[in-house]
Structure 1
């Protein structure tokens, strides 16, 4: 989208200042409710259910309210919704964004998912698309009557959900799938169902299902422009590579959305970047130094594809698993400086990984955050779904 000659320079220190304030990581910037955090961050990673709560707790002024306030937002007022979004990943979004996410990113993924399911069933000699459609409509009707239900409960109403078929026969990853497992996943991506209450505590990964709240069908380009502008206000500046990675869109979609919202080009260490047109002015750093303990898959740590400005490359082998999922991280003044884990007795163990360590002030502040985290998590034990080398070691 043009050259960067003459564009305003935004260096790493200013990017860290923006991150600190806009991601609500400094004390004065902390929020009063889960809805406020989600609205600011746009999306909270939900692949690991505990991440949602830990990410919110790190940003709430009253962290002790994290669990009850989040459960109320997710399962009572429904002001937050857990659903598939960018990159075919589960996120928690503000409810007013569900239509935007569905139109901008969900529909294209959904079409591929349904095609894949039908092909897999055909190869296995399973019933055809008409049969699957009939089962789908029956299951959705049953779910609407129940309000929320597990796959097993739905199969009581629609027994055909229990039917099995062999997936990827002859491959190393061959497996037997039930219709319910694959179909509910497709319906989730299509925006027809969302995850409801878990079967266990807030760390449980087994969920009931619920029919998606009604939302308008939006134009693709309009939805992409809306999502792009919302994300850039929190995470800008970002490179084209960052935007393509975070959204999962084609580069042509990214460029079209940037043009539609009138994004301004700026100069970054990585090359050209983009901000909203009214967000070009310099941003001053926080008035006080700050520390944070963020969970695995936190939306800040996973917010950009190009991360050198806040995460030194030499730390990556310690902090990421083999699939590129970040583990729990320790932050000091806008940079990742270490890792943390919860031990069996509830202690929050942490370690500084940067060469030369950090100042005594930083160590004290990190210790305060570790105690704050332990205080509100209480007796609950949290193990990341995607574990990293240093997290395993610290957990003992």
Structure 2
């Protein structure tokens, strides 16, 4: 039975998050609307990021999401925590300015020590990449690596990844559309139209509002984890967003959320079973994940290297894992339960799998 949507007792946190994250309450708009609502969608696993957006839209297909990238509606880059995300095009610059600058400062000594990327080396790399992309045409990662090598800039031992990541965090480049199976890169200023600048205070307020609307109920500590900002900054962000939010305390923790989404569309009869992709915001978006994930299952769901597995969520709780394979018959989903599953729960998984099939425009079967 679904928890009372008016309550934020512990069992109700997951219920609210499913709705506020638009998992149980998909939108009828496009990928840009989903990404803007969530603030950002973690996207180092490209296929998983496409599905993370698609599952939050009524009747979306993978082609729809990729078209939004090609149309420059959403952009894949490194705005926060040094990690790839998809963000709305209009948000790229203020997010980089607010969050990526801190990552650059924190990583400067390490990338110089481990990869020889001091100020002079980065300046040379910046010049090489900017010149290579000056004609406005997207280039693959491997093409840019070759260009760096020709300019006597080593790309070995992950040095190349740090070069491209650094330039993206500086707002010089971002990823463009895929070329075959490879990511491509473009100059940010050539790819994304200039948008209005936000002051630091405006950016903090916007970030706080986006996060608590898209991820609430959540704590200020959750926002600090998600954004990579200091607790002082996230407290300032919350203070600016407070007039638009509601709060409720559980024990010593205070949770913030947008009551408007709840009032407009909470549905206690929403489908109880979801197949979430790896790195989905439903788990990765919080410091404390206990509302959805039993601590006993943490090591099975989140690897020691920080890799989040694709998971099965039943009535708000992670109840199993799944993997997708493709063969001549279409998509094949293998299921690993984390607890015994009831007959109706397996039926729910089968129904959720069909939605993935529609997204992929492919037959799907559960193994």
Q: Do both share a fold (TM > 0.5)? A: yes
Q: Which residue matches 1:185?
A: 165
| 1: CA distance, partners of 2:54 / 2:166 | 31
Of 92-101 and 208-217, the range deviating more from structure 2: 208-217
Q: Which residue matches 1:142?
A: 132
| 1: CA distance, partners of 2:137 / 2:326 | 37
Displacement of 1:185 in angstroms is 1.9
Q: Where does the alignment leave 5 or more consecutive residues of structure 1 unmatched? A: 1-7, 166-174, 382-393
Cα distance change of structure 1 residues 131 and 242 upon mapping to structure 2, 3 Å threshold = closer
Q: Where does the alignment leave 5 or more consecutive residues of structure 2 unmatched? A: 1-5
| 1: CA distance, partners of 2:237 / 2:320 | 36
Q: Which residue matches 2:3?
A: none
Number of equivalent positions: 352
- The secondary structure found in structure 1 opposite 2:284 is coil
Residue 235 (structure 2) pairs with residue 237 (structure 1): no
Residue 347 (structure 2) pairs with residue 357 (structure 1): no
User: Does the 8 Å CA contact 2:18/2:282 hold for their aligned counterparts?
Assistant: no
User: Does the 8 Å CA contact 2:38/2:213 hold for their aligned counterparts?
Assistant: no
Residue 38 (structure 2) pairs with residue 53 (structure 1): no
User: Does the 8 Å CA contact 1:319/1:327 hold for their aligned counterparts?
Assistant: yes
Displacement of 1:136 in angstroms is 1.7
Displacement of 1:316 in angstroms is 1.9
1:258 is aligned, of 238, 260, 276, to: 238
User: Does the 8 Å CA contact 1:155/1:161 hold for their aligned counterparts?
Assistant: no
TM-score, structure 1 normalization: 0.77
Moved over 6 A (4+): 155-159, 277-283
- The secondary structure found in structure 1 opposite 2:312 is strand
Cα distance change of structure 1 residues 280 and 62 upon mapping to structure 2, 3 Å threshold = closer
| 2: CA distance, partners of 1:131 / 1:343 | 42
User: Does the 8 Å CA contact 1:329/1:337 hold for their aligned counterparts?
Assistant: yes
Q: Which residue matches 1:129?
A: 119
TM-score, structure 2 normalization: 0.83
| 2: CA distance, partners of 1:317 / 1:158 | 39
Q: Which residue matches 1:71?
A: 66
User: Does the 8 Å CA contact 2:80/2:99 hold for their aligned counterparts?
Assistant: yes
User: Does the 8 Å CA contact 2:51/2:62 hold for their aligned counterparts?
Assistant: no
- The secondary structure found in structure 1 opposite 2:282 is coil
Could you say which structure has the larger radius of gyration? 1
Aligned positions of 1:236-385 closer than 5 A: 236-262=216-242, 265-269=247-251, 271-275=253-257, 284-343=266-325, 345=327, 346-354=331-339, 356-358=340-342, 360-377=343-360
